[in-house]
Amino acid sequence: MFIKDSKGKRDRHTVLSPVLLVLLRQYYKQFKPAYWLFEGQDGGQYSSKSIQSIFRSAVKATNSNPWSTPHTLRHSFATHLMERGVNIRYIQSALGHASTKTTEVYTRVLGINSKTLKSPLDTLYESVTFDKSQNI
C-alpha cells in the first residue's frame, strides 16, 4: 500500500492485509464515498478529535486498555511484526522511520530475525478462522 504525504510529509509503502482489502472493498461498494474513504457526517475528512472519540467508544465497548490511543495501534503493529521475527529494516520502512534507532525505541525491542513481512491482521484472522473450525 502506498501512503502519500504521511507523517513528516514523506511518501512510503507499507503492508495492507488481503483480509482487510476485501472488507474495504465491501465498505466502498456499500457506502460509495465521494473523496475520503471514511467520510465524516458532512462528507469531509474526519477530524483528529472525531477519530479519538470513535476510538474511545471502541475501547470502552471492547473493554480494551483504557490508556490506549489511536497511536497505540501503530505501536502494536510494529511490536507484532517484531514478535513474528520480521527484519527491523522492513518495519522501519513500513513505519516510515528514517533511522532504525527510532524503530527500536518505538517497539522497545532491539534484535529480531529476518522473515517475510505480513500484516498482523492476517495472523488474527487465521486464529479466528482456526478457532471457528474447531468449534471453540
> In this predicted model, what pLDDT tens digit does every residue of 32-43 receive, in sequence order?
998 888 888 888
> Mean pLDDT across the stretch 81-99?
87
Is 96 in contact with 6 (CB distance < 8 Å)? yes
Average pLDDT estimate for 85-91: 88
Query: Is-above-0.85 flag for pTM?
Result: no
Domain positions in the chain are 2-133
Greater model confidence, 21 or 133 = 21
Query: Between vectors from CA 119 to CA 101 and to CA 17, what angle results, nearest 5°?
Result: 135
- pLDDT tens digits, residue range 92-110? 888 888 888 888 877 665 4
Residue 3 · residue 96 · CB < 8 Å: yes
